[in-house]
Amino acid sequence: QVQLVESGGGLVQAGGSLRLSCVASGSIFSCNHMGWYRQAPGKQRELVADIPTSGPTYYAGSVKGRFTISRDNAKNTVYLQMNSLKPEDTAVYYCNAGIRPSGRDSYRNYWGQGTQVTVSS
């Protein structure tokens, strides 16, 4: 069974930094894209950043220049370094990945349970 587990959320003052981590575990054959979404209260879930196996990364305009996504393929781990945090970055952050489980022929989209990020002004 494949699972995504996030860590690294918390409370930080505006201007501060946090680093989120997400580890994919279980019977994994391969992992293509990995990314981060967020959902603030009363708002729709939005894509923050995504990193494919190869090719350019994607950043939402609101975080470009402040957030950096990276991955360690050997560890099936994706990171989100968040700098210059703003109160509007407050949300639950979800890890998302396209994973092909061992013994399967196709990729499936997986989600983590979410980690709270709160930025105080």
At 52 the three-state DSSP class reads coil
* CA–CA distance, 97 with 24 (Å, rounded to integer): 8
Sign of CA dihedral 58, 64, 65, 71: negative
pLDDT digits (tens, 9 = 90+) for 97-119: 999 999 999 999 999 999 999 99
Percent of the chain scored above 90 by pLDDT?
98
Distance, first Cα to last Cα, the chain? 40
Q: What is the mean pLDDT of residues 9-35?
A: 96
Q: What Rg, from alpha-carbon coordinates, does the chain have?
A: 14
